[in-house]
Amino acid sequence: MQTEEYGSRLYGFDQPLERERIGLIGEVFDSYTRRRITDLGPLTGQRCLDVGAGPGTVAAWLADRAGPDGEVIALDRDTSLLREAGHPGVQIWRADVHTATDDELPKPGFDLIHARLTLCHLPQRDQVLPRLVSWLAPGGHLIVSDVINTMAAASPHPAVRALTQAYDHALVTTLASDLNYARAYPTPLITAGLTDVGLAADVPLVRADSHTARFWELTFTAMRTEILATGLIDANGFNAAIGHLTAPGTHELGYTLVSAWGRAA
């Protein structure tokens, strides 16, 4: 089955409500990302690369921590949101990490490379990860984070379980995205030759009127047509699940953010 590229139509920055949705990614996940990166050591004077930087909230935080003696590059296929953010300490680099030649990419030798919610959406993810490792300076760290579907098992609401299962299936068949990829962490990092490998999981809580509830409402709604086409849930079930996730009194465990990191020899 022919799949389309993530962001070319679905979840493209030019789509209705996508700017709100992608902005909520930072609200939901940035605190976990900052904690995991901070645990790897000081960033002052470091050379950092943020792959799939989106609106640049992580890149901006890295630049603030790296300071004037550091260097932070934000790399993405679509840099429109990065240009709008315009953080003075962030260099913007437009490239497709899948297809760009070495001459089209930043010079290697990074002390830190970060990629969040990126590899799971790249069909050639197994080739991209070793490429990222090759860009590290000796002793440099790679940290990657992707979500896995814990709602399908943890939710007490049958419609929510059905919706998340249908969503995962729609991602695979429409975008070739794999929300099971992070279940293999940290093995891909070990295979790529990294040492001092670690793993952590963070689970945002879905509550009514929370950033997390709104993020998942927009995320699922953007693919409503593709989700219903799976046949795993009908329109009534879809509406019931969204209603439950945004209803007062709801407390659900969201998709788990799995982070893995390692150090170059």
Residue 239 falls inside a structural domain = no
Is a pLDDT exceeding 80 seen at residue 2? Answer: no
What pLDDT does 153 receive?
87
The answer as to whether 164 is a domain residue is no
Q: What distance in Å separates the CA atoms of residue 18 and residue 14, rounded to the nearest whole number?
A: 7
Max CA pair span of the chain: 56
Residue 9 lies in a domain: no
1 has pLDDT over 70:
no
> pTM (2 decimals)?
0.95
Segment 30-66, tens digit of pLDDT: 999 999 999 999 999 999 999 999 999 999 999 999 9
Q: Are strands 251-253 and 205-207 parallel, antiparallel or unpaired?
A: antiparallel
The verdict on residue 33 lying in a domain is yes
Q: Would residue 214 count as lying in a domain? A: no
Chain position carrying tokens 């998942």 = 216
Q: Is the four-CA dihedral 41, 258, 228, 155 of positive or negative sign?
A: negative
Domain count along the chain: 1
The answer to whether residue 249 is domain-embedded is no
CATH number for the domain including 27?
A: 3.40.50.150
Q: What is the spatial distance between Cα 120 and Cα 116, in angstroms, rounded to a whole number?
A: 9
Q: Is 133 a domain residue?
A: yes
| Residue 186: domain span | 18-148+178-203+254-263
Question: What is the per-residue pLDDT across 72-124, written as a single tens digit (0 to 9) for each?
Answer: 999 999 999 999 999 999 999 999 998 899 899 999 999 999 999 999 999 99
**23 belongs to a structural domain:** yes
